[in-house]
């Protein structure tokens, strides 16, 4: 995939901030403070391999903004991890949280390894040692900095992190809230695994529901029969594709780093994912056409392109050839600054990462709240609500002489489970934020949804600093 040495995600993010600042009246000192990373921690630690040899592993944790605490953001395991990347990703977390009104500062962590080259025992050693390094410098804790999964990590790694943290802090009653994205059995929350993909689906659904915007793009409203290309079939790409398909869209292309599938009849995402899990490749998948040079798939014709892999995928090199009408950034930073200019000139709508993939951190926030209160959502009131709705239905039936049918009764009486509440909170966050961002774009008479999103986010961060009496 497209990667070059000079590219700096952090510089791109800063330059997006500068664009937004041109539409705002900000104290120049405040702008500089908002842009910089507050704390950067980088470290090396040795890992003893099974053959007795040692490897020295590079770890990072960057806290971009302390305007709200704790700071929040995932931990990435990838060979591409470097300081600039983690800085850029941590900055994006700040703007993402502010954009969707989640009360955290931004952070990000990374370990420079290819997780595919290690077995589970070695990965556990690396994760626990990385956590111990964070504990040493107080770079992790429920009130300080709360990691989560990112590219190359998942619920398993989060359970190692929480276990290590608890071992070092046996009396901390809130210890479970030191990390989110944990397995359910380790006090995770129902819906966190699929949250980012579900948020991507909700965000795209909202975008295509606005008639005047779709008219400008020459598209009909609604997801039905929209042709979609997804790049990356990891957690985020898979769930985005799954929910978009369930809503009536048709996924016609899926690109992975080691080849892609193209099928204009529509791809069965679950069956393709199962094939990939079993074979580690799409090659040999019975349906559609296998495309070896998968980066090209992003240039094929479609209505909506969803890059869901890594940053720096659509650059000034391939942007002129992109044919999609809408690009939904499910990954962090998939479009470079220069590429975005080209795309906007071609009248392509870009739904920015800091909004579109915010579903993950939103549900992380719910998990953190659940851990702090030590009770799952719905546990206290569910049965009580059900009894009350039952009484209400019975009195309506008595008063009117009419009876509800069983399906209606069940739907009304059903109390909200933890999952129902999580999904409802996620919907509310994503729907509200989309229309707020789109309205800001229209009010400011600008083309870029990203600039609108940055204006909203920076405004909220500026208010925090002003209310603290800094840069009033």
Specify the residue, 157 or 303, whose C-beta has the smaller distance to ligand GLU.
Answer: 157
Compute the distance between CA of residue 59 and CA of residue 130 in angstroms, rounded to an integer. Answer: 7
Compute the distance between CA of residue 34 and CA of residue 20 in angstroms, rounded to an integer. Answer: 13
Element (H, E) at 418: helix 418-443
Backbone angles phi, psi at 342, to 5 degrees: -65, -45
Question: How many residues sit in the footprint of ligand GLU (CB under 6 A)?
Answer: 11
Q: Is 357 in the site for ligand GLU (CB under 6 A)?
A: yes
Alpha helices, DSSP H, located in 208-268: 211-217, 235-246
Q: How far is the CB of 225 from ligand GLU (least distance, A)?
A: 30
Compute the distance between CA of residue 35 and CA of residue 41 in angstroms, rounded to an integer. Answer: 17
Instruction: List the structure tokens of 98.
Output: 């502010």
* Chain position carrying tokens 């397995």: 183
Q: Is 361 in the site for ligand GLU (CB under 6 A)?
A: yes
Give the active site residue among 108, 226, 325, 440. Answer: 108
Q: Is 78 in the site for ligand GLU (CB under 6 A)?
A: no
Site for ligand GLU in 6-35 (CB under 6 A): none
Cα 149–Cα 153–Cα 155 angle in degrees, nearest 5 = 65
Per-residue x/- track, 132-151, ligand GLU (CB under 6 A): ----------------x-x-
Compute the distance between CA of residue 430 and CA of residue 460 in angstroms, rounded to an integer. Answer: 17
Site for ligand GLU in 58-77 (CB under 6 A): 72-74
Q: Is 371 in the site for ligand GLU (CB under 6 A)?
A: no
Specify the residue, 78 or 252, whose C-beta has the smaller distance to ligand GLU.
Answer: 78
Give every CB contact of residue 375 below 8 A, 6+ residues apart in sequence: none
Specify the residue, 31 or 100, whose C-beta has the smaller distance to ligand GLU.
Answer: 100
Q: How far is the CB of 361 from ligand GLU (least distance, A)?
A: 4
Compute the distance between CA of residue 169 and CA of residue 437 in angstroms, rounded to an integer. Answer: 41
CB under 6 A: which stretch of 137-145, 359-367, 417-425, 437-445 binds ligand GLU? 359-367
- Cβ-contact 282, 251 below 8 angstroms: no
Specify the residue, 16 or 262, whose C-beta has the smaller distance to ligand GLU.
Answer: 16
Q: How far is the CB of 262 from ligand GLU (least distance, A)?
A: 28
> β-strands 54-63, 105-111: how paired?
antiparallel
User: Among 65, 78, 159, 180, which residue interacts with ligand GLU (rule: CB under 6 A)?
Assistant: 180
HSE of 375, CA atoms in CB hemisphere, 13 A: 7
Q: How far is the CB of 132 from ligand GLU (least distance, A)?
A: 20
User: Among 82, 159, 332, 336, which residue interacts with ligand GLU (rule: CB under 6 A)?
Assistant: 332
Specify the residue, 106 or 260, whose C-beta has the smaller distance to ligand GLU.
Answer: 106
Q: Quick one: DSSP state of residue 47?
A: E
Q: Which residue is nearest to ligand GLU (CB)?
A: 74
CB under 6 A: which stretch of 38-46, 200-208, 314-322, 358-366 binds ligand GLU? 358-366
Q: Is 370 in the site for ligand GLU (CB under 6 A)?
A: no
Please state at what angle helix 155-168 crosses helix 120-136, rounded to 10 degrees. 50
- Cβ-contact 248, 266 below 8 angstroms: no
- Cβ-contact 316, 292 below 8 angstroms: no
Site for ligand GLU in 84-143 (CB under 6 A): none
CB under 6 A: which stretch of 251-259, 343-351, 354-362, 406-414 binds ligand GLU? 354-362
> β-strands 71-72, 145-146: how paired?
parallel
Active-site annotation holds for 280? no
Q: How far is CA 299 from CA 199, 242, 295, 320, in A?
A: 24, 22, 8, 9
- Cβ-contact 76, 110 below 8 angstroms: yes
Specify the residue, 227 or 370, whose C-beta has the smaller distance to ligand GLU.
Answer: 370
Q: How far is the CB of 94 from ligand GLU (least distance, A)?
A: 11
Specify the residue, 140 or 148, whose C-beta has the smaller distance to ligand GLU.
Answer: 148
Specify the residue, 192 or 337, whose C-beta has the smaller distance to ligand GLU.
Answer: 192
Catalytic center residues: 108
Residues that bind ligand GLU (CB under 6 A): 72-74, 148, 150, 180, 332, 357, 360-361, 364
């Amino acid at each position: 995939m497209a990667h070059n040495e000079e590219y700096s995600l952090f510089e791109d993010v800063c330059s997006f901030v500068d664009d937004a600042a041109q539409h705002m009246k900000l104290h120049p000192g405040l702008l500089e403070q908002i842009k910089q990373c507050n704390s950067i921690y980088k470290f090396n630690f040795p890992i003893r391999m099974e053959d007795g040899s040692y490897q020295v592993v590079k770890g990072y944790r960057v806290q971009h903004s302390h305007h709200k605490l704790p700071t929040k953001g995932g931990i990435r395991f990838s060979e591409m991890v470097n300081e600039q990347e983690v800085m850029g990703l941590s900055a994006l977390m700040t703007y993402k949280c502010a954009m969707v009104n989640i009360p955290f500062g931004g952070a990000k962590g990374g370990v420079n390894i290819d997780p595919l080259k290690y077995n589970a025992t070695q990965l556990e050693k690396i994760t626990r040692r990385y956590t111990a390094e964070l504990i040493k410098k107080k770079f992790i804790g429920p009130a300080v900095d709360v990691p989560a999964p990112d590219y190359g990590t998942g619920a398993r790694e989060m359970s190692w992190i929480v276990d290590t943290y608890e071992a070092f802090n046996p009396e901390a009653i809130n210890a479970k809230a030191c990390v989110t994205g944990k397995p359910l059995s380790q006090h995770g929350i129902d819906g966190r695994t699929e949250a980012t993909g579900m948020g991507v689906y909700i965000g795209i659904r909202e975008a295509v529901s606005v008639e005047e915007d779709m008219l400008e793009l020459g598209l009909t409203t609604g997801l039905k029969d929209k042709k979609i290309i997804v790049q990356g079939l990891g957690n985020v790409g898979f769930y985005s594709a799954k929910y978009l398909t369930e809503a009536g869209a048709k996924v016609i292309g899926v690109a992975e780093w080691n080849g892609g599938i193209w099928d204009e009849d529509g791809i069965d995402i679950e069956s393709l994912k199962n094939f990939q899990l079993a074979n580690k490749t799409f090659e040999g998948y019975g349906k559609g056409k296998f495309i070896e040079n998968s980066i090209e798939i992003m240039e094929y014709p479609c209505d909506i392109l969803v890059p869901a892999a890594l940053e720096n995928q659509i650059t000034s090199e391939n942007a002129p050839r992109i044919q999609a009408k809408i690009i939904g950034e499910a990954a962090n930073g998939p479009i470079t600054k220069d590429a975005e200019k080209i795309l906007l000139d071609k009248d392509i709508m870009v739904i920015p990462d800091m909004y579109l993939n915010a579903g993950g951190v939103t549900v992380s926030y719910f998990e953190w709240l659940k851990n702090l209160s030590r009770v799952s959502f719905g546990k206290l009131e569910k049965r009580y609500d059900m009894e009350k709705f039952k009484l209400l239905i019975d009195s309506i039936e008595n008063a009117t002489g009419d009876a509800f049918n069983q399906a209606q009764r069940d739907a009304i009486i059903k109390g909200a489970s933890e999952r129902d509440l999580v999904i409802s909170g996620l919907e509310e966050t994503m729907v509200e934020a989309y229309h707020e961002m789109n309205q800001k774009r229209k009010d400011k008479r600008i083309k870029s949804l990203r600039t609108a999103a940055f204006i909203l986010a920076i405004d909220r961060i500026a208010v925090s600093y002003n209310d603290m009496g800094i840069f009033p």
